[in-house]
Amino acid sequence: MTAALPNFEPVTSVDEVGELLAHALADDVDLAFEQVVRTYQDRIVSVAARALGDRQRAEEVAQDVFVRAYRALQTYDRPRIRKLRLRSWLYAITLNLVRNAVRGKRLRTVALERDDGSPRPIADSKPTPESQIETQTEWQLVGGAIAQLSPKLRDAFVLRYVEELSYDEIADALSQPLGTVKANAHRGLMNVRAFLEEQS
């Protein structure tokens, strides 16, 4: 298991902006909240779109995330807001709402395929025609690999290797011990690698 993939640690940074914003929120939620939305909206929409495979639905869920966050902040006292790890907190809310959005169905993580099996474009940038076939195949494969992971491996894997959160943040977002999220992210990675090897 620990036969690792050297140099494969994603670059993760402390969410410095999040710390500054948490302080600003502690001073005045109403004044600082717009900046929170602007700072995290693209990430949150992306997370939701990857999970739901539907851009418009993803925006609705992302809006719900911010509404829920704002309502929660209004009930927190200042010291609690100041200590908030904003990025992982918003991810936690997003994961919950995405789960609600697909409740009763299998979580369609990266359910990005059309009925004919071709990838459904959700991103903003379209690949050039020359690279299109290869690129689509590759990210479609990764999407399939992620979709077949169990929910606990998938959450840890996606937060680590797609969203590039630190393990501390992931533990925070998933409310799980650090050791558990490290093990799950790693098992997810091995699993994805095995899946891709099978496909090639």
Partner 1 sequence: MTERLRRCLDDFCANTQCTASPEFTSETLDRLGLADRYTTLESTIGPVYVAWNPRGVSAVRQADDTEAFERWFRKRFTRRALPATSNPAIVDDVRRALAGEDVKLDIDLRDCTPFEAAVLHKAQEIPSGHARPYAWVAREIDRPRAVRAVGSALANNPVPLLIPCHRVVRSDYTSGEYVFGPAAKDALLEHEGLHVHEIEALAKRGIRYIGQPEDNCFCLPTCGPDLIANHNPDNVELHSVDEALAMGLEPCTTCRPIAA
- Site residues (vs partner 1, CB under 8 A): 5-6, 8, 30-31, 33-34, 37-38, 41-42, 44-46, 49-50, 55, 58-59, 62-63, 66-67, 70, 110, 112, 119, 122-125, 127, 135-136, 138-139, 141-143, 161-162, 192-193, 196-197, 200
Least distance in Å: CB of 67 to partner 1? 6
- Sort 17 into a burial class: Cβ within 10 Å, 0-12 / 13-18 / 19+: middle
Q: How far is the CB of 123 from partner 1 (least distance, A)?
A: 5
Nearer to partner 1, 22 or 62 (CB): 62
For partner 1, give the closer residue by CB, 140 or 176: 140
What's the rounded Cα separation, in Å, for the pair 105 and 114? 17
Which of 73/104 has CB closer to partner 1?
73
- Please, what is the minimum distance in Å from the beta carbon of residue 154 to partner 1? 13
d(CA 18, CA 20): 5
Angle, in degrees to the nearest 10, between helices 29-52 and 16-27: 140
Q: How many CB atoms lie within 10 A of CB 138?
A: 12
Of 38 and 103, CB closest to partner 1: 38
As given in the structure block, the two tokens for residue 169 are 């943040």
Of 75 and 175, CB closest to partner 1: 75
Distance CA 186, CA 193 (A): 11
Tokens 């090639």 belong to 200
Cβ neighbours of residue 63 closer than 8 Å, sequence gap 6 or more: none
User: Could you give the CA distance from residue 180 to residue 196 in angstroms, rounded to a whole number?
Assistant: 24
Q: What stretch of H or E contains 68? A: helix 55-73
Task: Tell me the closest approach of the beta carbon of residue 153 to partner 1, in angstroms.
Answer: 15
Identity of the residue, 77 or 124, whose beta carbon is nearer to partner 1 in the bound complex: 124
Closest approach of partner 1 to the CB of residue 177, in Å: 25
Of the candidates 16, 29, 99, 27, the one whose C-alpha atom is nearest the C-alpha of residue 67 is 29
Q: Give the nearest distance from C-beta 137 to partner 1 in angstroms.
A: 9
